[in-house]
Amino acid sequence: MSDSASLRDITDFAQALALEAGELIRRERDNNTLRTDYKQQTELVTHADLMADEFITGAIRKRFPEHRILSEESMPDLSQAEELETPLWIVDPIDGTVNYAYGHPQVAVSIAYAEKGRVQAGVVHAPFPGETFRATKGEGATLNGKPIKHSGATVPRDSLFATGFPYTKDNLEPLVKRLDAMIHNCRDLRRIGSAALDICWVACGRLDIYYENVSPWDFAAARLIALEAGATAGHFGDVPAGYPADLYGRDILISAPAIWEPVRQILRSASGYD
C-alpha cells in the first residue's frame, strides 16, 4: 500500500476519522460531560480521550485488520515502533488533554500512518478553531486544503520557539538549562500545550522552532506535515542504532531550515552533548 493513490486514500481516511473524533471531543466538552482521571498518578486523562481512542482504533481495525496500532490511551507499547514489517498507525485521540480539561482551544486529534518505520501520511485536526493540517509523503502539506510553508526564519535571535515539559518533575534540570539557553538566543517562547500543534505551527510559519522530548503519538503526524511544508526535522541528540528516526521522540528538533543547525548547536551545548 505504498503507491501515491493508496496513500492519498489513507490520508483521506485518517482525516475523516480525525474530523469525526474532533466532533466527539468538542461535543463532550460543550455538553459539560467532561470526566477526568489520572494515569501513572500524574498524567490527566478524560473520558473523551478514551471515547475518541475507541472510535479511531475501532475504525482502523475494521478497515485494516492486519495493521498494527500505537495509541497513547489503549495501546501505548513503544516497542510497536521497532517492528517494521507491518504497517503501523500512530494515534493520539486528544493531544493537549490538560488544555482540553481547562477549556483552552489548543487541542488536536493526531493520526499518522507508517510503513517500515517511515511515516507516509499524517493528519492533525484542531476541532475548536476548526483547523485541519494534513500531509501525504511527497505531496506537500495543507491547512484546510491550502498549501502551507515554514516561516523562512534565518537567525535564531529573531525566532519564536515552542517547547513543553513532562508531567513528572524529578528530572527538570536539563530541560531548564536548555530553556535558559534558548531564551537567551531567541526572540521569545510560546508554551502552547500540544506538541502536535506546536509542530504544525512551525509548518505554517506561526512558530520558527520546536524542540522537546515526546512520544511517537505526539509528533508522528505533525513531523511529516512540517517536512512536507519544507521545514527541517531531526534530533539534537543521538538516535539509537536501528530505531526509526521518524518515530524517535527524544531530543526532537523541528524548525525553519536556515536555523536548524545553529539551534541544534545551542541545544547540544546546553545539554552537555558536545
Q: Considering the chain, tell me which residue range(s) the CATH 3.40.190.80 domain(s) occupy.
A: 156-271
Is the pLDDT score of 273 beyond 80? Answer: yes
Q: Considering the chain, tell me which residue range(s) the CATH 3.30.540.10 domain(s) occupy.
A: 4-147
Cα–Cα nearest to 4, from 96, 106, 137: 137
pLDDT digits (tens, 9 = 90+) for 50-77: 899 999 999 999 999 999 999 976 765 7
Residues in a beta bridge with 111 = 91, 123
- Please provide the CATH number assigned to the domain covering 4-147: 3.30.540.10
CA separation for the pair 153, 205 (Å, rounded): 9
Mean per-residue pLDDT, 249-256: 97
Cα–Cα nearest to 101, from 37, 55, 152: 37
Lowest pLDDT segment from 92-96, 152-156, 242-246: 242-246
CA separation for the pair 208, 159 (Å, rounded): 6
% of the chain exceeding 90 in pLDDT: 80
Lowest pLDDT segment from 27-31, 45-49, 196-200, 207-211: 45-49
% of the chain exceeding 70 in pLDDT: 92
Binding residues for Mg(2+) are 72, 92, 94-95, 218
Is the pLDDT score of 41 beyond 60? Answer: no
- Please provide the CATH number assigned to the domain covering 156-271: 3.40.190.80
pLDDT digits (tens, 9 = 90+) for 169-226: 888 999 999 999 999 999 999 999 999 999 999 999 999 999 999 999 999 999 999 9
CA separation for the pair 273, 185 (Å, rounded): 18
Grouping H, G, I as helix, E, B as strand and the rest as coil, residue 104 is coil
- Mean of the per-residue pLDDT values of the chain: 91
CA separation for the pair 91, 112 (Å, rounded): 7
Mean per-residue pLDDT, 23-47: 70
Q: Are 113 and 134 in contact (CB under 8 A)?
A: no
| Cβ neighbours for 274, distance < 8 A, ≥ 6 positions apart | 265, 268
Quick one: residue 272, left, alpha or beta (phi over 0 = left, psi -120 to 50 = alpha)?
Answer: left
Tell me the three cell numbers of residue 5: 493513490
